[in-house]
Amino acid sequence: MIRTVWLASYPKSGNTWFRMLLANLSATDKPVDINDLPERGGIASAREPFDYLTLIDSGLLTHDEIDVLRPRVYEDLASGAQDDEYDKPEKLPPARLVKVHDAYTHTSKGEPLLAGRGGADAAIVIVRDPRDVAPSLANHNRVDIDLAIKQMNSHELAYCAKPGRLDLQLRQKLPSWSGHVASWLDQTDIPVHLVRYEDLAADTAKIFRAALAFAGRPATDEEIHRAVRYADFGELQRQERDKGFSETPRRAGGAFFRRGEVGAWRDELSPEQVAAIEAAHGTMMRRLGYELASEAPRTGTLGEWRMASGE
Amino acid sequence: MQFYQVSGLSVASEIVLPGLIAATADVAPEVTIRRGSVPDALSGATASGPTWQIAGKQFLMRIPDIARFLLKNGNEIVFAAESDAKAADIPIFLLGTVFGILLHQREQIVLHASTVRVNGRAVLFCGSSGAGKSTIAAALAQRGYPLVTDDVCTLTIDGRGAPLVHPDGRQLKLWAQAIERLDLAQQRGERVRASLEKFYVEPSEAFTAPLPLGAVYALREARPPHKPGIERPNVVDAALLLRRNAYRPLLVRRMDQKANYFHAATAIANVAGIFHLTRALDFTKMPEVIAWLEAHWLELRLVEQAA
């Protein structure tokens, strides 16, 4: 059976970049089209597979009723229920990596929403310094940075949860940035491999290779180095600029692939904004090795800070 | 017993099914719906999913905490409520998923589509939930193209190979946002379920005679690489598109109906056409989309050029 591995992250933490790396493993002569990824999984919260497999119009169920059924859907997907959907059987990779933004939560019946071991064999959890997530999230959602920080600090935030309309994705609970990361790191149902965005940026090939080995999706050095080159941030930006990206938010304005830089928060956030993030998430930031501005020596340039933090 | 006409079938039901065309009791019903005991599982199941099982001519469907439904031979639906509190929610699932499965048992072509009448012909808008089927049908109904079906659309192929669409008087079901943006508050009816902000909307007119098919549009959101507009896919893609827009496409596969849908796609291609309609999911763009459609109907000669 094909292994299923969650590619779990808070939004704007490098999940799509990782998927682009993955997609480019099978590219040979040129980078894959960002709007035509050879992947099957989509995102775990997509509405269509739910309706497809349960035969129920999820638009007629409440968010909580949907959640009760979601573990059954993930079990079904993990066992390959959708693999014969297309007429031409493609060569399936030994592991399917499926993007997920949901926190690792439990349904009203006490079951893991993502079905624990029944839904996936393991999870690659991608994290990013929340001070870099905030400006990126603000750009993505077309809100100001203060509101983005407020959302990241909220324990009640959920995507696609509005009443009165139907979103194309199912509700995703995002119980604060640190709550989200903790939900994945602290669950004991499935093994986790942690990837820091900053490490992936610093030595993409090495970090990517280790994650692939964990996922059970081996690749040659040649494939990995080519994928790193083809999924270079500049290439992704170029493609988005030239022909648009299907996952860019509908509200016009922001690009999906914005800056992608490590530590850009130093020129994007005010001291008050940095303080608000660190006050809410300091514990998790320390756990992940993100040095707090409030605890760092006040002197020194950005370059020295980067050296000091090992980047 | 209550008597109705649903997707071209005469139905006798123990419970009231809102929004359907009432029928007289003098016809022997082709489908009966009644309360009864329904097992938790079928023995000898040959196919199953998270909420359903198939064993021979029997199909068990479960909507958790609401009801279980046993469908037999394409002509009988037995249901058992799972919660007294949610008994009022049974008809909406009965008329959607459950009746859709029954139509598959009867080997009919059943599409996930809302339909309007254009100059005596049926024009279908297909897509998965959230694609905007009901919204576009509602906007066209306001322009004078009456609603024929909402969400589920049954096609039969007549003796001469012509596809026919069977109206069933289902009311439109629209989310509060669409009702507001289309200015339909006057026609807003009851909530579809007490727990949802989705409402029945009264159609302006209901009729029962089957209509010849005019055109089929598969709705698609305009996001890269898909550009806004109407285009005709090639024959092979059109056949696949029709099957993927079946009402519950998984059942086409699990109930061995692929050949049926292939033949239907051929019949449709002969008399009408299967098209992609690609547009932004944006209410303010609706007049523009309707203008494309009206121009397309002229081109297809579904309507005559105004004198």
Residue spans per domain, chain A: 3-130+154-259
Which residue, chain included where needed, has tokens 């990837």?
A195
Q: Are residues B113 and B130 in the same domain?
A: yes
The Cα angle at residue B35 between residues B32 and B36, in degrees rounded to 5? 110
CA distance B219 to B123: 13
**Which tens digit of pLDDT belongs to each residue from B17-73?**
987 878 877 778 999 999 999 999 999 999 999 999 999 999 999 999 999 999 999
- How many residue pairs bridge chain A and chain B with CB atoms within 8 Å of each other? 99
B196 contact A CB<8A: yes
Q: Are residues B118 and B193 in the same domain?
A: yes
A62 contact B CB<8A: yes
Do residues B150 and B170 touch, judged by C-beta distance below 8 A? yes
Domain closes at, from B105, B120, B150: B105
Q: Are residues B97 and B228 in the same domain?
A: no
- pLDDT at position A114 is 98
CA distance A184 to A9: 9
Does the residue B283 lie in any domain?
A: yes
- pLDDT at position A85 is 59
Nearest to A165 among B50, B177, B249 (CB): B177
The β-bridge relationship of strands A122-127 and B58-63 is unpaired
Q: Are residues B243 and B163 in the same domain?
A: yes
Q: What are phi and psi of B207, to 5 degrees?
A: -145, 165
Does the residue B307 lie in any domain?
A: no
Q: What are phi and psi of B304, to 5 degrees?
A: -90, 150
DSSP for chain B, please give it.
-EEEEETTEEEEESS--TTSEE--TTSPPSEEEEE----SS-TT-SEEETTEEEETTEEEEEETTTEEEEEETTTEEEEEES-GGGGGGHHHHIIIIIHHHHHHHTT-EEEEEEEEEETTEEEEEE-STTSSHHHHHHHHHHTT--EEESSEEEEEE-TTS-EEEE---PPEEEEHHHHHHTT-GGGEEEESSTTSSEEEE--S----S-EEEEEEEEEEE--TTPPSEEEPPPHHHHHHHHHHTBSSHHHHHHTT-HHHHHHHHHHHHHHS-EEEEEE-S-GGGHHHHHHHHHHHHHHTTSSPPP-
Q: Are residues B101 and B124 in the same domain?
A: no
Q: Are residues B82 and B198 in the same domain?
A: no
Q: Are residues B121 and B65 in the same domain?
A: no
Does the residue B304 lie in any domain?
A: no
SS3 A192: strand
Do residues A127 and A109 touch, judged by C-beta distance below 8 A? no
CA distance B242 to B255: 16
ipTM above 0.85, yes or no: yes
- Looking at residues B111-122, what average pLDDT do you find? 96
Contact A56 B97 (CB under 8 A): yes
| Chain B nearest-CA residue for A36 | B225
- pLDDT at position A230 is 96
A3-130+154-259: CATH homologous superfamily? P-loop containing nucleotide triphosphate hydrolases (3.40.50.300)
CA distance A29 to B225: 21
Q: Residue A9: which H helix or E strand, with range?
A: strand A3-9
**A47: chain B residues, CB-CB within 8 Å:** 128-130
Contact A246 B251 (CB under 8 A): no
- pLDDT at position A40 is 62
CA torsion sign for B163, B242, B167, B147 is negative
Does the residue B62 lie in any domain?
A: yes
**B223: chain A residues, CB-CB within 8 Å:** 244, 246, 248
Q: Are residues B77 and B116 in the same domain?
A: no
Contact B130 A47 (CB under 8 A): yes
Domain closes at, from B86, B105, B124: B105
Q: Are residues B113 and B90 in the same domain?
A: no
pLDDT higher than threshold 90 for residue B116: yes
Does the residue B235 lie in any domain?
A: yes
3-state helix, strand, coil in chain A (%, to 5): 45, 10, 45
- pLDDT at position B167 is 87
Nearest to B129 among A47, A62, A87 (CB): A47
Q: Are residues B62 and B159 in the same domain?
A: no
| Chain B nearest-CA residue for A247 | B223
Closest among A181, A107, A100, A160 to B129, alpha carbons compared? A160
Do residues B146 and B205 touch, judged by C-beta distance below 8 A? yes
Contact B50 A167 (CB under 8 A): no
**Which tens digit of pLDDT belongs to each residue from A221-230?**
999 999 999 9
Closest among B62, B51, B12 to B34, alpha carbons compared? B12
Q: Residue A3: which H helix or E strand, with range?
A: strand A3-9
Q: What are phi and psi of B234, to 5 degrees?
A: -70, 170
Q: Which domain covers residue B10, as residue numbers?
A: 2-105
Contact B225 A57 (CB under 8 A): no
User: What is the total count of domains within chain B?
Assistant: 2
- Looking at residues B205-226, what average pLDDT do you find? 90
Q: Are residues B182 and B51 in the same domain?
A: no
Contact A55 B223 (CB under 8 A): no
A243 contact B CB<8A: yes
Q: Are residues B278 and B132 in the same domain?
A: yes
Residues of chain A with pLDDT under 50: 87-89, 300-311
Contact A52 B101 (CB under 8 A): no
**Which tens digit of pLDDT belongs to each residue from B235-277?**
889 999 999 999 999 999 999 999 999 999 999 988 889 999 9
Domain closes at, from B78, B105, B132: B105
CA distance B245 to B262: 12
CA distance B202 to B163: 27
Structure tokens that stand for B145 in this block: 């193209």
**B97: chain A residues, CB-CB within 8 Å:** 55-57
- pLDDT at position B306 is 65
**B253: chain A residues, CB-CB within 8 Å:** 84-85
B198 contact A CB<8A: yes
Give the CATH number, domain containing residue B257.
3.40.50
Burial of B234 (0-12, 13-18, 19+ CB in 10 A): exposed
| Chain B nearest-CA residue for A246 | B224
- pLDDT at position A300 is 47
DSSP for residue A82: T
A142 alpha carbon, distance to own chain's centre: 19
Nearest to B196 among A55, A62, A245 (CB): A62
